[in-house]
């Protein structure tokens, strides 16, 4: 049987040819294919079955001698099956992508190759391919041992994609309902971007209030949401779907605008993105990561360009687990650090190298930052006006601050309240412009440093200044308290030594003080004689209401 032979054919129509020779004379030739004997006369084409075919052939001569032959062959007209497992039709932020193909055939694959840039490359197993930026088309080819060839392609885009993970099932008082998410766009922004919602759907967004900004999911789970394009304003502002964003996997090239409170209130957010944070040129960091309670560290945060930033207020306020090096930041233009680390309970890294010479407001900066205890004495605080509540409840803070220039300070209210470990010298501070020291050392139970050199002539409010500051016992007789209008609870429940209290009464009574001042000296007792006379001056002449421990026995 000359044709077909023992091989695989990719065409059912094949030439059928038998030759028979004999030393005398061939009498007849016949064959059987489907169980029926057929006389063979001359070569001709037969349409064979798909799959395996077997042909028997016989020939006899005039003497009656018989010979036979058999051939088995396959017909395969089915193309290979190609599935491009990865990449798929989407955006990718990384130019290197795994090319993963699934190829099958009903008989056997001979060769697989792919092409995306005009060059054919053999494929043997999943492999990483580095693509160019922009739209990409990958062509994949496969042929089988029968010669059948199939082609398949996939289109995708390599771009710096803002990649996030969302959980639509999370809800809060301000959020969308279960199985929805709303992008935090703002009416002041300009938008032209594509969003891939992670469920196989996508939308082109050009307006902050476009209906497609809110997306509904038909199934439960976490969804990878990708954005590429232009966003000029993005901010949760402690509102909206703040609890639904779970992770930032890649920042990409999307600029998130200049508004404050970008991720404020995103209590479930973690950031694993390792590409640069795209905040270049931003001047306002107010509330940037406020109340992001799951954040511990943020990759590349230390290398963030902060040279143009003027506002860092509330930046890490409520970020209770955040704790990361920031000492290389250029904060020379920052004017407010109000509540920057407020209730950042874990934060405890050195900031001593910061240039804070432009800062005017440090109020509540480390308030309730329970774990903070780092040097700050190199800071240039000459511009700071407001220091109220700065170290309130910074319970472990106990670092020297004596080199600070406080000449611009006006407000020191509650500055060290409940800073229970703090006991450092502040004697060199220039407090000549301070107007309120209300509860400044309230419950600062370890503080006991000389303050006699302070010029407090502008202070009007000393309410509760040393309230329950149990260890405080210093001579304040040299203070000029002539402007003070309230001293209620000033030394509440503490005891100055009799000599120190005597000096206070004698010194203050010599001034032209305000009338009708309520003054609490706690349990302090005074001596008879000059101190008692001085107390009478304050009590009778200036009609002070004085509560103290009375005359010492």
pLDDT tens-digit map of 168-180: 999 999 999 999 9
Distances (CA, A) of 73 to 20, 109, 380: 20, 17, 91
Report, as an integer, the average pLDDT of 306-311: 96
In the prediction, which pLDDT does 90 show? 83
**Residue of 490, 549, 540, 551 whose CA lies nearest to 519:** 490
The dihedrals phi and psi of 454, each to the nearest 5 degrees, come to -70, 135
Q: Is the separation of the CB atoms in 166 and 245 below 8 Å?
A: yes
335 pLDDT exceeds 80? yes
In the prediction, which pLDDT does 522 show? 98
Q: Is the separation of the CB atoms in 272 and 249 below 8 Å?
A: yes
How far apart are the C-alpha atoms of 465 and 480, rounded to whole Å? 15
SS (H, E, C) 330-362: CCCCCCECCCCCCCCCCCCCCCCCCCCCCCCEC
How far apart are the C-alpha atoms of 52 and 362, rounded to whole Å? 86
In the prediction, which pLDDT does 526 show? 99
332 pLDDT exceeds 90? yes
In the prediction, which pLDDT does 42 show? 94
For 411, the 3-state DSSP assignment is strand
Q: Do residues 150 and 90 share a domain?
A: yes
Domain interval for residue 137: 81-158
Q: Do residues 148 and 108 share a domain?
A: yes
pLDDT tens-digit map of 345-399: 999 999 999 999 999 999 999 999 999 999 999 999 999 999 999 999 999 999 9
Whether residue 143 is contained in a domain is answered as yes
Residue 9: pLDDT band (50, 70, 90) is confident
In the prediction, which pLDDT does 10 show? 85
In the prediction, which pLDDT does 50 show? 81
Examine the fold and report which residue of 158, 178, 212 is the final residue of a domain before the chain moves on. 158
Examine the fold and report which residue of 75, 95, 115 is the final residue of a domain before the chain moves on. 75
Whether residue 220 is contained in a domain is answered as no
The residues, any chain, with a CB within 8 Å of residue 215's CB and separated by 6 or more, are 180, 181, 182, 195, 197, 201, 203
Residues listed for the chain = 553
Q: Do residues 58 and 113 share a domain?
A: no
Report, as an integer, the average pLDDT of 20-32: 91
443 pLDDT exceeds 80? yes
The dihedrals phi and psi of 296, each to the nearest 5 degrees, come to -110, -50
Question: Cβ-count burial of 422 within 10 angstroms (0-12 exposed, 13-18 middle, 19+ buried)?
Answer: buried
How far apart are the C-alpha atoms of 461 and 475, rounded to whole Å? 19
Whether residue 395 is contained in a domain is answered as no
Examine the fold and report which residue of 75, 100, 118 is the final residue of a domain before the chain moves on. 75
Rounded to the nearest 5 degrees, what angle is found at the Cα of 502, between the Cα atoms of 498 and 507? 155
Rg of the chain taking only CA atoms, in angstroms: 43
Cα torsion for 101, 106, 108, 113, to the nearest 10°? -30
How far apart are the C-alpha atoms of 298 and 206, rounded to whole Å? 30
Whether residue 115 is contained in a domain is answered as yes
Residue 314: pLDDT band (50, 70, 90) is very high
CATH of the domain at 154: 2.60.40.10
279 pLDDT exceeds 90? no
Give strand pairing partners of 326. Answer: none
Cα torsion for 305, 309, 314, 318, to the nearest 10°? 0
Residue 278: pLDDT band (50, 70, 90) is confident
Whether residue 409 is contained in a domain is answered as no
The dihedrals phi and psi of 93, each to the nearest 5 degrees, come to -85, -20
In the prediction, which pLDDT does 434 show? 99
435 pLDDT exceeds 80? yes
In the prediction, which pLDDT does 106 show? 78
93 pLDDT exceeds 80? no
479 pLDDT exceeds 90? yes
In the prediction, which pLDDT does 62 show? 87
Distances (CA, A) of 239 to 183, 211, 351: 11, 19, 31
Whether residue 230 is contained in a domain is answered as no
In the prediction, which pLDDT does 180 show? 97
pLDDT tens-digit map of 213-252: 999 999 999 999 999 988 989 999 999 999 999 999 999 8
Whether residue 382 is contained in a domain is answered as no
Q: Is the separation of the CB atoms in 487 and 513 below 8 Å?
A: no
Within 10 angstroms of residue 428's Cβ, the number of other Cβ atoms is 13
- pLDDT winner (highest mean) among 141-150, 189-198, 429-438: 429-438
In the prediction, which pLDDT does 259 show? 77
Q: What's the number of domains the chain is made of?
A: 2
For 152, the 3-state DSSP assignment is strand
Average pLDDT, the chain: 95
Rounded to the nearest 5 degrees, what angle is found at the Cα of 475, between the Cα atoms of 471 and 477? 140
Q: Is the separation of the CB atoms in 74 and 49 below 8 Å?
A: no
In the prediction, which pLDDT does 339 show? 99
In the prediction, which pLDDT does 452 show? 98
Whether residue 251 is contained in a domain is answered as no
Q: Do residues 96 and 48 share a domain?
A: no
**How many Cα atoms within 13 Å fall on the side-chain side of residue 474?**
19
Q: Do residues 39 and 106 share a domain?
A: no
473 pLDDT exceeds 80? yes
In the prediction, which pLDDT does 417 show? 99
In the prediction, which pLDDT does 162 show? 92
49 pLDDT exceeds 90? no
Residue 76: pLDDT band (50, 70, 90) is confident
Share of the chain above pLDDT 70, in %: 100
258 pLDDT exceeds 80? no
């Amino acid at each position: 049987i000359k044709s077909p032979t023992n091989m695989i054919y990719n065409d059912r129509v094949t030439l059928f040819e038998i030759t028979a020779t004999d030393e005398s004379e061939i009498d007849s030739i016949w064959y059987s294919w489907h169980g029926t004997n057929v006389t063979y006369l001359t070569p001709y084409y037969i349409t064979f079955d798909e799959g395996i075919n077997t042909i028997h052939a016989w020939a006899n001569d005039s003497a009656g001698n018989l010979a036979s032959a058999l051939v088995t062959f396959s017909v395969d007209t089915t193309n290979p099956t190609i599935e491009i497992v990865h990449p798929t039709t989407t955006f990718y932020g990384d130019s290197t992508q795994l090319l993963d193909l699934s190829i099958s055939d009903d008989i056997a694959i001979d060769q697989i190759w792919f092409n995306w840039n005009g060059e054919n490359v053999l494929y043997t197993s999943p492999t990483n391919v580095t693509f160019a930026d922009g739209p990409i088309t990958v062509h994949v080819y496969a042929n089988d041992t029968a010669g059948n060839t199939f082609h398949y392609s996939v289109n995708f885009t390599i771009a710096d994609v803002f990649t996030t993970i969302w959980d639509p099932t999370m809800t809060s008082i301000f959020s969308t309902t279960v199985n929805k998410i709303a992008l935090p766009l703002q009416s002041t922004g300009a938008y032209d971007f594509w969003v891939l919602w992670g469920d196989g759907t996508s939308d082109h967004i050009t307006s902050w209030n476009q209906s497609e900004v809110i997306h509904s999911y038909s199934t439960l789970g976490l969804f990878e949401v990708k954005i590429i394009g232009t966003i000029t304003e993005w901010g949760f502002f402690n509102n909206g779907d703040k609890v639904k964003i779970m992770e930032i996997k890649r920042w990409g090239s999307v600029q998130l605008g200049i508004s404050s409170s970008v991720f404020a209130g995103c209590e479930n957010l973690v950031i694993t993105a390792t590409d640069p944070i795209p905040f270049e040129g931003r001047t306002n960091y107010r509330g940037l990561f406020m109340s992001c309670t799951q954040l511990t560290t943020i990759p590349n945060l230390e290398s963030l360009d902060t040279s143009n930033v003027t506002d860092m207020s509330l930046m890490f306020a409520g970020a209770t687990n955040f704790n990361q090096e920031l000492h290389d930041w250029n904060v020379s233009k920052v004017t407010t650090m109000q509540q920057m680390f407020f209730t950042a309970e874990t934060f405890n890294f050195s900031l001593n190298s910061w240039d804070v010479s432009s800062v005017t407001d440090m109020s509540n900066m480390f308030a309730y930052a329970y774990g903070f205890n780092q040097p700050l004495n190199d800071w240039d605080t000459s511009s700071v006006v407001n220091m109220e509540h700065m170290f309130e409840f910074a319970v472990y803070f106990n670092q020297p601050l004596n080199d600070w220039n406080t000449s611009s300070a006006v407000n020191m209210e509650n500055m060290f309240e409940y800073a229970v470990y703090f006991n450092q010298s502040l004697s060199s501070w220039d407090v000549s412009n301070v107007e309120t020291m209300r509860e400044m050392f309230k419950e600062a139970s370890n503080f006991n440093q000389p303050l006699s050199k302070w010029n407090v002539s502008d202070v009007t409010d000393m309410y509760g200044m040393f309230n329950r500051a149990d260890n405080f016992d210093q001579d304040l007789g040299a203070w000029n308290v002539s402007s003070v209008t309230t001293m209620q609870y000033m030394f509440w429940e503490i005891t100055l030594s009799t000599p120190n209290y005597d000096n206070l009464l004698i010194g203050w009574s010599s001034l032209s003080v305000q009338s009708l001042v309520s003054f609490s000296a706690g349990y302090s007792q005074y001596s008879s004689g000059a101190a008692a006379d001085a107390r009478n001056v304050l009590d009778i002449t200036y009609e002070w209401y004085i509560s103290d421990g009375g005359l010492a026995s």
